[in-house]
Structure 1
Amino acid sequence: MLDFEPIYTTTAAESIARFVAGHYALPGPLDCRMVNRGFNDVYLIVAATGDRYVFRLSHHRARGAADVRTETDFVAHLARCGVPVAAAVQARDGALYVRGRAAEGVREGVLFHALDGRAPEVASTADARANGVTLAKVHGAATSHRAVAPLYRLDLDHLLRRPLARVQAFCRVIDAGDGGILQDIATRTAARIEAMDGLTWTHCHGDCHGFNARISEGGEAVFFDFDDGGPGYLAYDLSVFLWAKLSFGRRFHAAWQAFVDGYRSVRPISAADFEAAHAFVIVRHFWLMGEQASRSREWGSEPVRWVTREREFLETWEADQLADRLV
């Protein structure tokens, strides 16, 4: 009888509870339940004292292993600087992350303090402003951060060219067209960005779309999920929020303006970075398309077929926002 080779396995909550109890000095018994399964697997841990934690088990992605060393080092720096973030909990050996072996291979885990507060509202200008304020604090603290050697750089190869290649490969597998048109859009976008002078380089959150935060009782946005982050373009970090408010049929322009106002209340945004953010919306869309396309072996082709139908959004954004003057 032949054995099956797993691509991805789901770890039982009871197994996670035992794993966490073995690696972290939490008062037991621990109650554990899965909260989310996807790019990462997320579990809620409740200690005997009632204290709540979130354990995130990283998933292998097309880009490679999770860069938890860089992520947890940066988040610890942010916490020391007073930036509102979900801090990682030290393991018994003092490390900020752990590793465990699943059927498909080694996976990295991080235990975070669970955040209080509510989820942001998609059209709320107050929540958007709070996100802008916190992102500016992240970038401000990044100026004094001396990073460990990161696995990834959020450059155009990482964010655009490699994701495009994954989308094109997926299009060939399911015999979908438009791969050449997507190539043309990506080439024009890369040329436009590379021609811009003075773009700021920072340590990015990488996924600041407005919902990787909790809004505290005082209205502050407390950030989590830095696992898509790393050294990269500041304009890209801004663009993710703009993309989130205006992609997939959304029209939340006021939220974007509030986000920018919040950011500028803490730090300035250069004219070059602000203009580049609009071009990076296309980059962000390609990044997501590539992430989704790369999961077709795991999720199946049908759940990610939408990536072959995004030509209209990309062409419309390019024509409306980038041809003459940005929004």
Structure 2
Amino acid sequence: MLDFHPLYSTTKIADLENVIDRNYDLGGPVSCRLLQRGFNDVYLAKTPGGDRYVFRLSQRRARGPADVRSETAFIEHLAGLGVPVAQPIATRDGTFFIEGRAPEGVREGVLFRAVIGRDVDANSAGDARANGKTLALVHQAAETFEAGEPRYRLDLDHLLWRPLMRIRDSGLVEDPAILLRIEGVAERTAAAIRAMDSLTWTYCHGDCHGFNACIDEAGEAVFFDFDDSGPGYLAYDLAVFLWAKVSFGRELIAMWHEFLDGYQSVRTIPEADLQAVTRFVIVRHIWLMGEYASRTQEWGSNAVGWIAGEADTLARWEREHLALPVRSAPPDEVADATA
């Protein structure tokens, strides 16, 4: 009999429920159901009394194991300062994460209190402003966070060069000329960023694309999914939201200006960081391409093959989107920018 070694396994619900019951004091046995699988496995856990939690079982990525220690420490710091975030629940022994052995290796689990609220509306100016405000509160609170030694830094090596290597290694881009075009955009983008003086370094959410939040009754955006967080460029953390509004054919630039208004109602953005945002839109897209490319053997080339066609997208962004105004603008100017 031959041995087949798994890249990724799915935990049995009964096993997961036993793990939660053994490690957390929730006042009764939980019942769980799988909400989604992908970069992580996410489960809804409910107690007999109706309390709701979200259990996230991290999956090992190309970058390595999840940095749950730094992530949960940062979230606890934010919550302590009143930033609206989904808080992790402590285990019976007082830690904020557990580790378990799966066939493919160790996986980390974190239990969060479920956020009460509605999903974000991509076309809502109020929701965009709420996202901007909460991200500003995150960055404001980050100024007093003692980061210790996070496992990952959101620098160009992490966000650009390593993802580019994963794209190369995946074999998905078979035409050398197309690969050279992608690499050319990456190199010019990196050179432009390196030439910018005094870019701000902060502790980033890392994935503030607008949907890692719920809108509560007060209209605030309550953030979750900090598993891409870490010390990095302020301009990158801002750029993720802009990227989400212009990527894959979207034309929601007006929501970017609303987001900026919400952010700047809390704190100002240095001019250098504001001007760097459009460069980091390209960095974000290459980062995503690299994330998908690294899953080729797990998800299959049909699911991730779209990255081979992104050279034109990157070139168009480099040629056109870098001219987008990054300041908050009156409606007429926004209309001109999207024409």
| TM-score of the aligned structures, taking structure 1 as reference length | 0.97
Deviation at 1:198, TM superposition (A): 1.3
Runs of 5+ consecutive residues of structure 2 not aligned to the other structure: 327-336
The total of aligned residue pairs comes to 326
What SS does the corresponding residue of 1:248 show, helix, strand or coil? helix
**RMSD, aligned α-carbons:** 1.3
- Runs of 4 or more off by more than 2 Å in structure 1? 172-177, 321-327
Distance 1:221-1:324 versus aligned 2 partners, 3 A rule: closer
Alignment of 1:81-92 (within 5 A): 81-92=81-92
Distance 1:265-1:11 versus aligned 2 partners, 3 A rule: same
Query: What is the CA–CA distance in structure 1 between the aligned matches of 2:172 and 2:302, rounded to whole Å?
Result: 12
**Equivalent residue number for residue 27 of structure 2:** 27
| TM-score of the aligned structures, taking structure 2 as reference length | 0.94
Query: What is the CA–CA distance in structure 2 between the aligned matches of 1:38 and 1:110, rounded to whole Å?
Result: 16
Alignment of 1:1-327 (within 5 A): 1-170=1-170, 172=171, 175-177=174-176, 178-322=178-322
Query: What is the CA–CA distance in structure 2 between the aligned matches of 1:154 and 1:229, rounded to whole Å?
Result: 8
Query: What is the CA–CA distance in structure 2 between the aligned matches of 1:158 and 1:273, rounded to whole Å?
Result: 19
Query: What is the CA–CA distance in structure 2 between the aligned matches of 1:19 and 1:160, rounded to whole Å?
Result: 37
Check the 8 A contact 2:168/2:179 in 1, yes or no: yes
Query: What is the CA–CA distance in structure 2 between the aligned matches of 1:36 and 1:92, rounded to whole Å?
Result: 26
What SS does the corresponding residue of 1:9 show, helix, strand or coil? coil
Query: What is the CA–CA distance in structure 2 between the aligned matches of 1:30 and 1:95, rounded to whole Å?
Result: 19
What SS does the corresponding residue of 1:308 show, helix, strand or coil? helix
Distance 1:181-1:24 versus aligned 2 partners, 3 A rule: same
Deviation at 1:147, TM superposition (A): 1.1
Check the 8 A contact 2:172/2:308 in 1, yes or no: no
Query: What is the CA–CA distance in structure 2 between the aligned matches of 1:302 and 1:254, rounded to whole Å?
Result: 33
Kindly provide the amino acid, as one letter, of the partner of residue 85 in structure 2: V
Cα deviation per residue 1:57-101 (whole Å; 9 max; x = unaligned)? 000000000000000000000000000000000000000111011
Query: What is the CA–CA distance in structure 2 between the aligned matches of 1:223 and 1:68, rounded to whole Å?
Result: 16
Deviation at 1:50, TM superposition (A): 1.0
Check the 8 A contact 1:73/1:148 in 2, yes or no: no
Kindly provide the amino acid, as one letter, of the partner of residue 297 in structure 2: R
Runs of 5+ consecutive residues of structure 1 not aligned to the other structure: none
Deviation at 1:148, TM superposition (A): 2.2
Distance 1:186-1:13 versus aligned 2 partners, 3 A rule: same
What SS does the corresponding residue of 1:35 show, helix, strand or coil? strand
